[in-house]
Amino acid sequence: MEPRMFDLSGMNALVTGASGGIGSAIARALASQGARVAVSGSNAEKLRIFRDELDEHTPQHLQQVDHVAIACDLSKGEEVEKLIPAALDTLGSLDVLVNNAGITRDNLAMRMKDEEWDAVIRINLEAAFRLMRAATKPMMKARFGRIITITSVVGATGNPGQMNYAAAKGGLTAMSKSLAQEIASRGITVNCVAPGFIRTAMTEVLGDDQKAALNARIPMGRMGEGEDIGAAVAYLASREAGYVTGQTLHVNGGMAMMS
């Protein structure tokens, strides 16, 4: 068989927030390129159902690949610390870590409660730090790794009502660039994918008027789909992306064009 570009067969990946709109599309994209995927989220039942669905996306010649589900509440530091060891235990190795899980607790600055700030920083930023720290050691030993974090266009542009969320996303970007410099020489790349507005449960809460106003700001005239993000992650996870590190790939229909 001709070698395919972006073939991930033989790679083991962990995806957080894999039961959500973007995370499930990322897991499907990685599985369809041949990776074995450990899907994680806080709701064990949702995860189990998704794990079973994932088999349908595995290429025919890799039907023996069994994907796994590992529940973990990322708001609890002690649970987060156990996630990478659990993934290593079940998968045997970890080639790709995708930090995708995230929440919003929007409020204008003057009204933002400490709990809203804390929850977003803990789940979106601190959990990703703990997972990156834990994944680094086995990846360094293997002299190969791909760490990919899902940030957001608002981490670069800011957004009213999202001081907490924008701070977390901007922090993830800076954190990834720092780690990228620490471990580049070991064959490990650390990158971000920054979605614009993507059709998922997170954006379903927006009213029709808000969606129309947003679409008017997007040159492509539509919201993105989870698959648009999944494809970007599959590329960054691939062997072909081995010379790309410390970067952010913006996937936003042209809504914000970063230099």
Please state, in angstroms and rounded to a whole number, the distance separating the CA atoms of residues 145 and 150.
Answer: 17
Of 24 and 136, CB closest to ligand NAP: 24
Q: What is the largest CA-CA distance in the chain?
A: 60
Stretch that binds ligand NAP, among 20-28, 58-66, 132-140, 211-219 (CB under 6 A): 20-28
- Whether 243 is catalytic: no
Q: Of residues 75-134, which lie at the interface with ligand NAP (CB under 6 A)?
A: 75, 100-103, 123
Note whether 131 and 108 are within 8 A (CB).
Answer: no
Nearest to 243 by CA among 146, 142, 162: 146
Give yes or no for residue 70 binding ligand NAP (CB under 6 A): no
Please state, in angstroms and rounded to a whole number, the distance separating the CA atoms of residues 205 and 216.
Answer: 18
Give yes or no for residue 173 binding ligand NAP (CB under 6 A): no
Task: Give me the catalytic one of 165, 176, 183, 200.
Answer: 165
Please state, in angstroms and rounded to a whole number, the distance separating the CA atoms of residues 81 and 15.
Answer: 15
Among 164, 173, 191, 200, interactor with ligand NAP by CB under 6 A: 200
Give yes or no for residue 30 binding ligand NAP (CB under 6 A): no
Note whether 9 and 62 are within 8 A (CB).
Answer: yes
CA of 35: how far to CAs of 1, 103, 130, 143, 238, in Å?
Answer: 18, 26, 23, 18, 10
Of 43 and 181, CB closest to ligand NAP: 43
Give yes or no for residue 210 binding ligand NAP (CB under 6 A): no
Of 17 and 170, CB closest to ligand NAP: 17
Of 17 and 34, CB closest to ligand NAP: 17
Give yes or no for residue 217 binding ligand NAP (CB under 6 A): no
CB atoms within 10 A of CB 202: 17
Residues identified as active-site: 165
Q: Rule CB under 6 A: which residues touch ligand NAP?
A: 17, 19-23, 41-43, 46, 72-75, 100-103, 123, 150, 152, 195, 197-198, 200-203
